[in-house]
Chain A
Amino acid sequence: MALKGNLRDFTITQLLNLVNLACKTGTLVVEGPADVAKITFREGKLIYAQLDHLDNSLAGILRRSKKISSRQYSILTERAANMNDKELGILLINAGYLSQYDIIDSLQQYFVGIVRQLFTWVEGVFTFEVNTLQPSDKIPIRMDLENLIIEGSRQLREWEQLQQEIPSLDMSLKFSDRPGINIRNVNLSVEEWRVVYYVNPKNTMRQIAKATKLNDLEIRRIVYSLLQAGLIEVIRPGEHPATLPPRAFPKTNKTEQKSLINRIIDRIRAI
């Protein structure tokens, strides 16, 4: 049956956990706002990953991991254009340019990097296509998911904490009333400065994120650090709903209650 949904409801970590525990085989397709990721698993192990906007060819991956130079990459894409990844891999090993370890290591780093990127996606839809494997010309690896899940869980905890601190991006920011502080003397990163530039009660955090091309996690991280430094304040809306006190189950005679339940059971069986 279908396994599809929204990243707002299920995080990547939860999906990896599900794949791992249920030893699933298939491809997880995640459509984010700016890209599409495809992660393939066999019996709960990561075997392949790709991001649609990147060059996912072996030559591209080897260049990114600095196993080959840009010049070698150009030569390979030109001369070995008709070769698939498996053929190219064998050629490079046989020619003594690279070892099998170099190739597998580059692929592992690349695939893990894609999954790590996915951890920062909070918007998007996913589908798990059961029994769909990676394209046949691609080289699969075999990696346990546990370490990735632990890493993702840490990030998830950070995300949950940030969500608690900053529950809604529809709130605005204002500079704290601390006349002694000169923000120009504070060491901020480029991204933090870009956010600071837009701090104004008229701008919501969502608008600032859009203007600075930051995703939900990144804007929350920056706002949180600025809050911690006491530089800005969030203008918080509404009050918290009151919690209701727990109420005890009504007490009656146990034998009488059991007899009552058995009568209901008999009646429903007979319907």
Chain B
Amino acid sequence: MQTVKIVVTGPFSSGKTEFIQSISEIDVVSTERKISLESEKIKSATTVAMDFGRITIDKELVLYMFGTPGQRRFDFMWEILSEGMLGFIVMVDSARPETFREARYILETFRAYAPTPYVVTANKQDLDDAWDLEDMRFALRLDPKIKLLPCVAHDKNSVKKVLLELLYTILAEMEAK
């Protein structure tokens, strides 16, 4: 049995756990804990080690999806999780511009761990406060070549599209090498 993995990363509360939950065939093995810091109490629980989802591809191949913890104090997990990944997805909450800088930092950190293909997703595009993709691309200082995809993490089809776009990017980069 061969296993491959994709890492879903991004700032705190960007929707990583929900993203994996939407597509995983197993209940996500989550390591959520109650939030202890007052400043982070925009949700009740957060991932402290990783989220873990699975999609069986065929008899011989399984895709694992790992969600990283969002807070920087758990960043010792990021490097461990990035080991041997096929590619990664950076999730950004489109309605919380104060997290864009953190998203940029996470993106650069993961690029330093492994120069693997990646896409950036603008999550929560269904919210009224969500920024336009064009504005987000500018704010995140993304190169036009990097895919910035709209996403609603609780919508399975939206999640599928993001995963497929990442896989197309991986293929395209393989072709280019």
Contact = CB atoms under 8 A, between A and B. Distances in A.
A229 interface: no
A81 interface: no
B101 A9 contact: yes
A246 B115 contact: yes
B131 A1 contact: yes
Interface string A1-20: 11111101110001001100
A14 B58 contact: no
Contacts of B113: 244, 246-247
B1 interface: no
A250 interface: yes
A215 to B, nearest CB: 20
Please classify how large the interface on chain A is, using the bins under 10, 10 to 19, 20 to 34, 35 or more: 20 to 34
A10 B138 CA distance: 10
Given A263-B58, A265-B167, A267-B58, 10 more contacts: A1-B132, A3-B132, A4-B97, A10-B139, A18-B139, A21-B138, A246-B115, A250-B84, A260-B2, A262-B171
**Closest 4 A-B residue pairs measured CB to CB?**
A5-B97, A267-B57, A2-B129, A265-B167
16 contacts: A2-B131, A4-B129, A6-B98, A17-B138, A21-B138, A22-B135, A246-B114, A247-B113, A247-B114, A249-B115, A250-B84, A254-B174, A260-B2, A267-B55, A268-B55, A271-B160
Interface of A: 1-6, 8-10, 14, 17-18, 21-22, 243-244, 246-250, 254, 257-258, 260-265, 267-269, 271
